[in-house]
Amino acid sequence: MAKIERFEDLNCWKDARILVREIYFVCEEGKHAKDFDTKSQLKRAALSVMNNIAEGFGRFSSKDFIRFLNIAQSSALEVRSIFYVALDIGYLTTEKVAELQKLTDDSRNQILGLIRYLNTKTKNESQG
């Protein structure tokens, strides 16, 4: 794997950035725009995905990075959960929720892949 020198080069961060942008757009549409609590929670959870990847990247150990990646992937699940609320109360359509959940899952899967890679790398380094 090529050495990544900036968090902006991480695919999981790129996916999270797209997710955040889309969430910001949908939060300004229809009834969702006036529900400040729900839209704030959704935005904060999405930002947590993106920002924890970046913050973890700046840590000095793989163990610390993995800890932040775990927070990021957990925040992705929080985002997914909030989408169900938005669907159930009519803020988002089934189609829009499916589209946003795919973006969320893509980002989370990239994060989980990076966690697996870092765990393997750390294990191999400690054995060698």
Highest mean pLDDT, choosing among 27-36, 40-49, 56-65: 40-49
| DSSP string covering the chain | -PPP-SGGG-HHHHHHHHHHHHHHHHTTSGGGGG-HHHHHHHHHHHHHHHHHHHHHHTSSSHHHHHHHHHHHHHHHHHHHHHHHHHHHTTSS-HHHHHHHHHHHHHHHHHHHHHHHHHHHHHHHHHH-
The full set of domains in the chain, from first to last, is 8-21+35-123 (1.20.1440.60)
Confidence of residue 121 (pLDDT cuts 50, 70, 90): confident
* pLDDT class of 124 with cuts at 50, 70, 90: confident
Q: Rounded mean pLDDT of the chain?
A: 93
At 83 the pLDDT is 97
125 pLDDT above the threshold of 90: no
